[in-house]
Amino acid sequence: MIDISKVSKWYGEFQVLDQCSTRIAKGEVVVVCGPSGSGKSTLIKCVNGLELFQRGEITVDGTSVGAKGTNLPVLRSKIGMVFQNFELFPHISVIDNIKLAQIKVLGRDEGEAAENGLGLLRRVGLDEQAYKYPAQLSGGQQQRVAIARALAMDPIAMLFDEPTSALDPEMINEVLDVMVELASDGMTMMVVTHEMGFARKVADRVVFMDEGRIEEDCTKDEFFGAPRGERAQSFLSKILQH
Amino acid sequence: MFGDFDFKIIVESLPFLWEGMQTTFLLTVVAIIGGIILGTLLALSRLSGFKPLAFIAGSYVNFFRSMPLILVIFWFYFLVPLVLGRPVGGFYSVLVAFVLFEAAYYCEIIRAGVQSVRPDQIYAGQALGLRYSQNMRYIVLPQAFRNMIPILLTQAIILFQDTSLVYVVGIKDFLVSADLVANRENRVLELFVTVAIVYFVLCLAGSLFVRRLQRSYAL
Ligand SMILES: Nc1ncnc2c1ncn2[C@@H]1O[C@H](COP(=O)(O)OP(=O)(O)O)[C@@H](O)[C@H]1O
Ligand SMILES: [Mg+2]
């Protein structure tokens, strides 16, 4: 489904991604972890073309992200994305957040978009908040709305960039629960997170990044069990101490 | 000096002054609306990745921002009829001058406003599949304008004061009307005190409104 092949990217002189390769098959859940600044956000943003890269290739469902003729807005509309700071649109209501792209991008009519939106809000347990503004919700609620907003586009895959790291501890689980459910429904997911509990529960594979390189790319059992690179070990021991 | 301060003359000239004030208001409102529309287009041009367009818009802004308003008013007073090949009346020339001049300032305000929207908001719109223009229209500009409300209103207050410069080409705005009465009736003090009070009260009310808005919306 998502095929990342030898992707390199530079910001001026600084190389932020170095020959990154990995594949995410349909229905697979891949967790990406690694120290801050290792290039996780940059890599995940390359997948839906929010960031450009100079070398290598990424294809999503057979479409090359970096190719000249690719219609990026259309490709992006098929890939859901959830951000660290939710990024709900603060000037419109929750339901309008979910309706907007359905109407403007997919061409659905008001009624259809609203019905679909309310259904998804029910699914994440927030149908009663539909007419509130994002600022009136807690962080955990906002992130669940953001997931519903992405799902409203009927995506073929979902990208998550540290979806719980801006949340108070007591709100992390309500978001992870939604993600676990999504994974068990068979959604293809690329998830940047340090929630190793989540990785243990639902990940098929774990990718470990360091200084712009993919240092480990293995099954969950290998990652948590078998010996591995020094960097990954020290990273893991730090993470698991919390 | 204040012993013979004539309140009656003020009351009597109110209808005449009100006509002048309508001209002042009309100038202000048209310059604000026209300036914001043209300023938005200029700001979007400056922010667009298209270099020639960004360059033209940038030059426009720098040009008008390095000209004194009074000079621009003079120019357009003589220029607009020449360009159109027929007399259009001073008022319309001045209107054009104000819109074009203010647009340069509004452009910079709006540009800063757009840049005040967090990049991840723009990414979020893009990630949903919105095209550049859709993202601007539905996500970026509404937030930018909301962030800009205080400074837009402040600019409007300055503009309201600046419209009094049209006296140089003899447009009968509030100030010129007061001046006419003052000379005709030989009541300079009464009229100019009135003018000062009216400008002061309106601008103060505007400023207080802005401050309240800032406090209640934490803008
Ligand atoms: N726009 C940018 N310009 C220059 N450097 C950047 C930019 N964005 C990110 N970086 C740098 O790229 C590196 C990787 O960033 P990022 O992908 O956000 O890492 P992570 O998500 O793993 O914390 C960091 O060193 C960061 O400082
Ligand atoms: Mg990051």
Chain A to chain B Cβ contacts (< 8 Å): 61
At residue B175, the pLDDT reads: 87
Question: pLDDT of A88-110, one tens digit each?
Answer: 999 999 999 999 999 999 999 99
Nearest CA in chain B to A44: B127
At residue A165, the pLDDT reads: 92
CA–CA distances in Å: residue A102 to residues A83, A115, A151, B82, B144: 19, 11, 10, 52, 23
Question: pLDDT of B93-142, one tens digit each?
Answer: 889 999 999 999 999 999 999 999 999 999 999 999 999 999 999 999 99
- Selecting from B129, B130, B146 the residue whose C-beta is nearest the C-beta of A91 gives B146
Q: Does A166 touch chain B (CB under 8 A)?
A: no
B1 within domain boundaries: no
B2 within domain boundaries: no
At residue B49, the pLDDT reads: 81
Closest C-alpha to ligand 1, atom 6: A11
How far apart, in whole angstroms, are the C-alpha atoms of residue B96 and residue B102?
A: 10
Q: Does B143 touch chain A (CB under 8 A)?
A: yes
Residue B34 has pLDDT above 90, yes or no: yes
At residue A240, the pLDDT reads: 73
Question: pLDDT of A185-229, one tens digit each?
Answer: 999 999 999 998 899 989 999 999 999 999 989 888 888 887 577
How far apart, in whole angstroms, are the C-alpha atoms of residue A42 and residue A53?
A: 9
B83 within domain boundaries: yes
Nearest CA-CA partner of B180 in B25, B16, B21, B5: B16
B19 within domain boundaries: yes
Q: State the pLDDT confidence band at B2, using cuts at 50, 70 and 90.
A: low
| Average pLDDT score over residue span B176-195 | 86
Beta carbons of B127 and A73 less than 8 Å apart:
no
What is the CB < 6 Å shell around ligand 1? A 11, 16, 34, 36-42
Residue B217 has pLDDT above 70, yes or no: no
Q: Which residue has the higher pLDDT, A79 or B187?
A: A79
At residue B171, the pLDDT reads: 84
Question: pLDDT of A119-163, one tens digit each?
Answer: 999 999 998 999 999 999 999 999 999 999 999 999 999 999 999
Closest C-alpha to ligand 1, atom 27: A37
At residue B68, the pLDDT reads: 92
CA–CA distances in Å: residue A39 to residues A12, A33, B140: 15, 10, 27
Nearest CA in chain A to B142: A91
At residue A8, the pLDDT reads: 94
| Average pLDDT score over residue span B201-206 | 89
CA–CA min distance A100, chain B (Å): 9
**ipTM exceeding 0.85, yes/no:** yes
Nearest CA in chain B to A102: B128
Nearest CA-CA partner of A137 in A95, A183, A185: A95
B211 within domain boundaries: yes
- For the CA of A11, the nearest ligand: 1
Q: Does A73 touch chain B (CB under 8 A)?
A: yes
CA of A54 from ligand 1 middle (Å) equals 15
As a whole-number percent, the residues of chain B with pLDDT over 70 amount to: 97
Report phi then psi at B89, rounded to 5: 90, 135
At residue B125, the pLDDT reads: 96
CATH number at residue B109: 1.10.3720.10
Contact A204, A220 (CB under 8 A): yes
User: For A118-127, b where at least 16 C-beta lie within 10 A, e where not — what string?
Assistant: bebbebbebb
Residue B15 has pLDDT above 90, yes or no: no
In which domain, by residue range, is B62 found?
7-218
Of the listed ranges A3-7, A156-160, A180-184, B192-196, the one predicted with least confidence: B192-196
How many domains, in total, are found in chain B? 1
Question: pLDDT of B156-180, one tens digit each?
Answer: 889 988 998 888 888 888 888 888 8
B122 within domain boundaries: yes
Q: Which residues crowd ion ligand 2, with CB under 5 Å? A: A 41
At residue B176, the pLDDT reads: 85
Q: State the pLDDT confidence band at A175, using cuts at 50, 70 and 90.
A: very high
Beta carbons of A153 and B129 less than 8 Å apart:
yes
CA of B37 from ligand 1 middle (Å) equals 36
CA of A51 from ligand 2 middle (Å) equals 13
At residue B216, the pLDDT reads: 67
Beta carbons of B130 and A74 less than 8 Å apart:
no
B212 within domain boundaries: yes
A184 φ/ψ sector (left φ>0, alpha ψ -120 to 50, else beta): alpha
Of the listed ranges A36-50, B77-91, B125-139, the one predicted with least confidence: B77-91
Q: Does A165 touch chain B (CB under 8 A)?
A: no
Mutation to probe ligand 1, out of A42, A208, A215, A231 (largest number of atoms < 8 A from CB): A42
At residue B86, the pLDDT reads: 83
| Average pLDDT score over residue span B72-83 | 86
Residue A55 has pLDDT above 90, yes or no: yes
- Selecting from A48, A83, A100 the residue whose C-beta is nearest the C-beta of B138 gives A100
Q: Report the mean per-residue pLDDT for chain B.
A: 88
B103 within domain boundaries: yes
Q: State the pLDDT confidence band at A53, using cuts at 50, 70 and 90.
A: very high
Beta carbons of A79 and B127 less than 8 Å apart:
yes
Question: pLDDT of B38-61, one tens digit each?
Answer: 999 999 999 988 899 999 999 999
